[in-house]
Amino acid sequence: MSQTHENLQYRRRARSSGGAWTSSEIEVEKEMVTTSTTHRKYPLLLSMLVLIVGVGLWFKIQDSSNAQTSDNWAGYVWPSTSGVTMVSASWTVPTLNCRVTPNAFSTAWVGVGGFSRVATWPFPQTGTDSNCANGVQVNDYWCSHKTFKEFGVSPGDVMEAKIYETRGRWFCSVEDATTKRSDVKELDYAYSGTTNVSEWIVESTTISSKSKSEIGKLADFGSLTFSDMNMSPGRWKSVDKDPRNDVAMTNANGQVIASPSWSAGGMTIVYK
């Protein structure tokens, strides 16, 4: 069921142009807007809220040798000189520690165009939610801000997710390799934003109600590994990674609460 609410949309704009941004060159502007969002089915704690994935990316550019930091993203972003038409990866739905974080949120996804100075929202994404509601873990999968689940997913299920473009139309593909069930949906909006960046992300979901919008508490997901990370055009490989494109999530005190590391198996994001 789609309903309209007043939500906060966070926009970023550079105070100066050219070169990498520094934290002092980024202004976060809060603007009341009316957006159309979709209620997802959760226990009572979550049923009164709208969960918005991908909105409100706040980031700071560190010096040239260090990773970037974000208030709500952890993972890897890959800039491209040509338009990206596909991003994919596999991961296992995590088992959350809902005793430590009884009411908290996490989502894993692949996407195009979100980590950019000229990003627009919504942008193409697909992934899985794993949240804690009153100490109970709930899971689903979604397509660019719309729930499209035709089947359930469970902790331990291996998911294969892909966002891709065909003849100007964007699609989400999700397959549960454990249960052998899959789903494909076309985005229900026309995307005309940038396609010059690919993303593999664990996010602390933005929570929106009628009165406010804020980043939710990150659920203790332990660790999550993105494997089989691919993009098109070209074929990106982990050996091509640049540590300056790593993104670590920090809390309000500037402490890292989730960050990526690399191995032969892919990129692992660890809750801290």
143 has pLDDT over 50: yes
Instruction: Report residue 53's pLDDT band, with 50, 70 and 90 as the boundaries.
Output: low
156 has pLDDT over 60: yes
- 100-132 burial, b if ≥16 CB within 10 A, otherwise e? ebbbbbbbbbbbbbbbbeebebbbbbbbbbbbb
DSSP helix/strand/coil, 45: helix
Give the span between the Cα atoms of 113 and 120, in whole angstroms: 8
Point out the least confidently predicted range of 78-87, 132-141, 215-224: 78-87
Contact (CB, 8 A) for 99 and 192: no
pLDDT value, residue 82: 84
More confident position, 73 or 121 = 73
Percentage of the residues of the chain whose pLDDT score is greater than 70: 72
pLDDT value, residue 65: 42
pLDDT value, residue 36: 27
Contact (CB, 8 A) for 207 and 216: yes
The string of pLDDT tens digits covering residues 202-222 is: 999 888 777 788 899 999 999
pLDDT value, residue 117: 76
pTM of the model: 0.78
The string of pLDDT tens digits covering residues 183-203 is: 999 998 999 999 999 999 999
DSSP helix/strand/coil, 76: strand
Q: Residue 70 contacts by C-beta under 8 Å, 6 or more apart in sequence? A: 57, 58, 59, 60, 247, 248, 249, 250
| Tokens matching residue 224 | 């999550």
> Of how many residues is the chain composed?
272
Q: Residue 211 contacts by C-beta under 8 Å, 6 or more apart in sequence? A: 6
51 has pLDDT over 60: no
Burial class (CB in 10 A: 0-12, 13-18, 19+), 221: buried
The string of pLDDT tens digits covering residues 86-133 is: 999 999 999 999 999 999 999 999 999 998 877 788 899 999 999 999
